[in-house]
Amino acid sequence: MSFPATSLRAWAMPRASVLSNATLVLGGVMVLGALAQIAIPVPGSPVPVTGQTLGVLLVGTTYGLSLGAATFALYLLAGIAGAPIFAGQSFGIEKITGATGGYLIGMFIATYFLGFVARKRLDQKFSTALPSMIIASVITFSFGLTWLHHFTGQSWGWTINAGLTPFIVGEFIKIAIAGTSLPLLWRFVNRKNA
């Protein structure tokens, strides 16, 4: 028997209050900010390798559509307002309008997409969770690469080498972590509530 909750947050807190949702949003912002600090510079690229996209995969699927999107939106607003929560403890509007801005916008849209996937319960099985997370990564990198190409004026070859190639292995590791752990967690939840 499948449990009716559409997100892990809904399962853990079926009667969420404004205070509990606010706490989750702030906690999610802190997780995203902490994972963004795991930043490894890529020689010749303005885009560092970060743990931030793992946060997107986890927040989008565990929080669901509304709460996940609200969390990433607050993350962006807090960083723009001056909280040092972007990669390398950076902040400011120039992170959105600069070379890495497309990645941040892509992550917001990917979070929304993963929340939609969670609403449809597609994050509960390996066969649908992994492809959904690959699509979310494609969304992030599509926006990121398009903006990086536009912002730098470099060739597409340079853009791919600076903005995608160094990240492929890490993204597959993050997808494997999130795409396998969430269905396993859902299997546990569904078994407990059967």
pLDDT value at 177 more than 80: yes
For residue 40, give Cα distances in angstroms to 46, 48, 79, 104, 174.
Answer: 11, 5, 19, 17, 15
pLDDT value at 15 more than 50: yes
User: What digits encode the pLDDT tens for the residues 61-78?
Assistant: 888 889 999 999 999 999
pLDDT value at 40 more than 90: yes
Confidence (pLDDT) at 178: 87
pLDDT value at 5 more than 90: no
Better pLDDT: 150 or 7: 150
Question: How many secondary structure helices (H) and strands (E) does the chain include?
Answer: 9, 2
Confidence (pLDDT) at 17: 80
pLDDT value at 185 more than 80: no
Domains along the chain with CATH numbers: 8-188 (1.10.1760.20)
User: What digits encode the pLDDT tens for the residues 94-142?
Assistant: 999 999 999 999 999 999 999 999 888 887 888 888 999 999 999 999 9
**Cα–Cα–Cα angle for 59, 95, 148, nearest 5°?**
95
Best mean pLDDT range from 18-27, 40-49, 118-127: 40-49
Give the three-class secondary structure for 24.
helix
DSSP state of 92: S
| CA 169/CA 8 separation, integer angstroms | 27
User: What digits encode the pLDDT tens for the residues 83-92?
Assistant: 999 999 999 9
Percent of the chain with pLDDT over 70: 87
From 7-11, 26-30, 91-95, 126-130, the region with the lowest mean pLDDT: 7-11
Give the three-class secondary structure for 8.
helix
- Angle at which helix 101-119 crosses helix 65-81, to 10 degrees, equals 160
Confidence (pLDDT) at 97: 96
Give the three-class secondary structure for 91.
coil
- In the chain, % helix, strand, coil (3-state, to 5) comes to 75, 5, 20
Give the three-class secondary structure for 90.
strand
- Does residue 141 contact residue 23 with C-beta atoms inside 8 Å? no
Q: What is the mean pLDDT of residues 143-148?
A: 98
Helix (H) or strand (E) holding 49: strand 49-50
